[in-house]
Amino acid sequence: MTSDQAGVPRDEPKAGVDLALWRRLWSFTRPFSREKRRLVLFAMGTALFDTALPWVTKAVVDDLTTAGASLPLGRYAALYAFLTLGLASCVMGFINSGGALRTGVSFEIRRAGFRNLQDLSFSFFDRRPVGWLMARMTSDCERLTNILAWGLLDLVWGFSVMSSVTVVMFLVDWRLALTLLSVVPALAWVSRYFQRKILSSSRVVRKINSKITAAYNEGISGVRTTKVFVRESGNADEFSRLTLDMRGASVRNALQSAVYLPLVLVLASLASGLVLGVGGSRVLAGAIPLGTLVMFLAFCHLFFDPIQELARLFAEMQMAQASAERVLGLIEEQPAIADSASVRANIANQTASARPADIAVDGGAAEIGVIRFEGVSFTYDGGQEVLRDFDLEVHAGETLALVGPTGGGKSTILSLLCRFYEPTSGRITLDGVDYTDRSLAWLQSQLGIVLQTPQLFSGSIAENIRYGDLEASDEDLHAAARLVGAEQFILGLDEGYATQVGEGGGKLSTGEKQLLSFARAWLKSPAILIMDEATSSIDTETERHIQAGLAQVLTGRTSFVIAHRLSTIRSADRILVIKDGRITESGKHKELLDLGGHYHELYTSQSLRETGQQPGAWDE
């Protein structure tokens, strides 16, 4: 799937450099004023030393033609040594300063991006693939910081060199200066023409590259499906067509770049030829000394090098503007769900030392009693309506199970309860208070969630369990693991609780990861426990261990359970059958079986698959 198909913004640079955009990006360099000053000073120093060397050469040649053998070589050798050491020191200085600036700005951009990602709502991630987000904080960030740091160097050095060379040339001989500068208009036209061509072909290369990356990713992730349908040859042919397109676009881009550089060199050589012709005739006429001609010939190359670098820099800035817009868009994106101004004011008015234990950080009740869904409807970003006029009341300590066909709205109900999303219409209240009038952080701190696909982080088993409560003691941690039946497999590992789980928990089985997810959620001791298909990836024996401890954990705690394995929810206080965003059946396990409706059908068919018994054998 291409980036366009995935709904990812296209990489379309604007025609010209957007200075306002780069000023916004430049704000990330503010903490590094010292590095910027050093970089500017070293760049200017490099330019002055670059300009001084041809001037000294002029003096050597002029003295040699007049003084002959009595030329003070020692003095000039010392002067050359001084200029060379000064130039080397400035080069070393701007490399260190530029590297420090680039690294620092990269850190600031990535920190700002990651910090904002933590606050963004789920709807943002629904519209952005993980790979797209990763690219913003890696390749795009790297590209932009290189431009900011080394672009500053090129700008300061380039303009300093051209300014100092121009001043020296006009001071020494204005006629030769005008001769050298006569090719600048032609160079400007050539640079503008070819940079547009190179920019256009580079854009094509990037687009095809994104398609190749997507195809390669899909080919690897879908290798089993490919083999099952014997699509290896077809996939290889499609990939070959993409790579052929890439080769053609890359050759075109390389050819344009290869033509542009020689043209710049030709114009620089033309300037040298003009200077040599005009200057040589004037040397022969005795109008200027030979050293002046030598200096101007050196200035021909020195003057045109910065022009080439600046043309490259402005083209790179233009091409990178799409990256800058995406990175800044990520950093400046506002969460769709956040505390209102009144909630923030209530939080600001509270002080932890004076706040009673039964008062939350936002001034409301610290405990959650009755939860109500009142006429709630919900639609995912312009899609089909998932819930419509949904009503539900749940009391504190109640265990509520949600069952029904896939896509019926079960997970949406829990996502709305957690305020990962907010209702399109209607409202959800906590003890009669609209939950949008309560602190978002406080509400989500009351939740413990175990999902169908467990998510672990790189680190040890103990660190992953303690993620639920960073202040928990080792005894509490071990008790949580023991309660869910995880301690047996943990102690069987060589390093026990210190065992590293790997990236995403890759060193553990899915069932083991799920047990740690249970332990993490229960260690938090949440007011509301949510389990979304939490036992689907563990075996029956492990499930029995969890069920034994589950009764203790659910006591006095409001719980919501989504389960396709209906045997896990028979003890729920209430079971809701959700279909097409509505409650079609409600009651206890036995009541719903006696009703003979959809729950009865689900339970019957599932029991037959699991036990092979005839209908009625399980019915109590």
Enter the pTM of the model. Answer: 0.74
**pLDDT at residue 94, rounded to an integer:** 92
**pLDDT at residue 119, rounded to an integer:** 86
DSSP states of 473-507: -HHHHHHHHHHTT-HHHHHTSTTGGG-B--GGGTT
Please determine, for residue 307, whether its predicted confidence score (pLDDT) is greater than 70.
yes
Please determine, for residue 557, whether its predicted confidence score (pLDDT) is greater than 50.
yes
The stretch 132-153 carries a mean pLDDT of 85
> Hey, which of 191-195, 569-573, 614-618 has the most confident mean pLDDT?
569-573
The stretch 31-60 carries a mean pLDDT of 93
Phi and psi at residue 394, to the nearest 5°: -125, 130
Structure token digits, residue 1: 């799937």
Q: Which residues contact 82 (CB under 8 A, 6 or more apart)?
A: none
The stretch 582-601 carries a mean pLDDT of 90
344 vs 203 pLDDT, higher one: 344
Please determine, for residue 619, whether its predicted confidence score (pLDDT) is greater than 50.
no
Q: How many CB atoms lie within 10 A of CB 437?
A: 16
Between the CA of residue 356 and those of 359, 433, 591, what are the distances in Å? 5, 19, 43
54 vs 197 pLDDT, higher one: 54
CA distance 131 to 140: 12
DSSP states of 101-162: HHHHHHHHHHHHHHHHHHHS-HHHHHHS-HHHHHHIIIIIHHHHHHHHHHHHHHHHHHHHHH
Mean pLDDT (the chain) is 84
- 267-294: pLDDT as tens digits: 888 888 898 899 899 888 888 889 899 9
Structure token digits, residue 389: 């006029």
Interior CA angle at 572 toward 527 and 551, to 5°?
60
* Across 227-241, 466-480, 605-619, least confident range: 605-619
Q: Which residue in the block uniquely carries the two structure tokens 């059908």?
A: 601
**pLDDT at residue 99, rounded to an integer:** 93
256 vs 26 pLDDT, higher one: 26
Report residue 230's pLDDT band, with 50, 70 and 90 as the boundaries.
Answer: confident
Q: Please state, for a pLDDT cut of 70, what percent of the chain lies above it.
A: 90
- 81-137: pLDDT as tens digits: 999 999 999 999 999 999 999 999 999 999 999 999 888 887 787 777 776 777 778
The stretch 375-394 carries a mean pLDDT of 88
**pLDDT at residue 378, rounded to an integer:** 93
Structure token digits, residue 512: 């083991």
Give the neighbor-by-neighbor strand order of the sheet with 447-450.
447-450, 528-532, 558-562, 399-403, 574-579, 582-587
Which domains are assigned to the chain?
19-332 (1.20.1560.10), 399-411+445-611 (3.40.50.300)
Please determine, for residue 229, whether its predicted confidence score (pLDDT) is greater than 50.
yes
- 493-515: pLDDT as tens digits: 999 999 999 988 888 888 888 88
Please determine, for residue 409, whether its predicted confidence score (pLDDT) is greater than 60.
yes
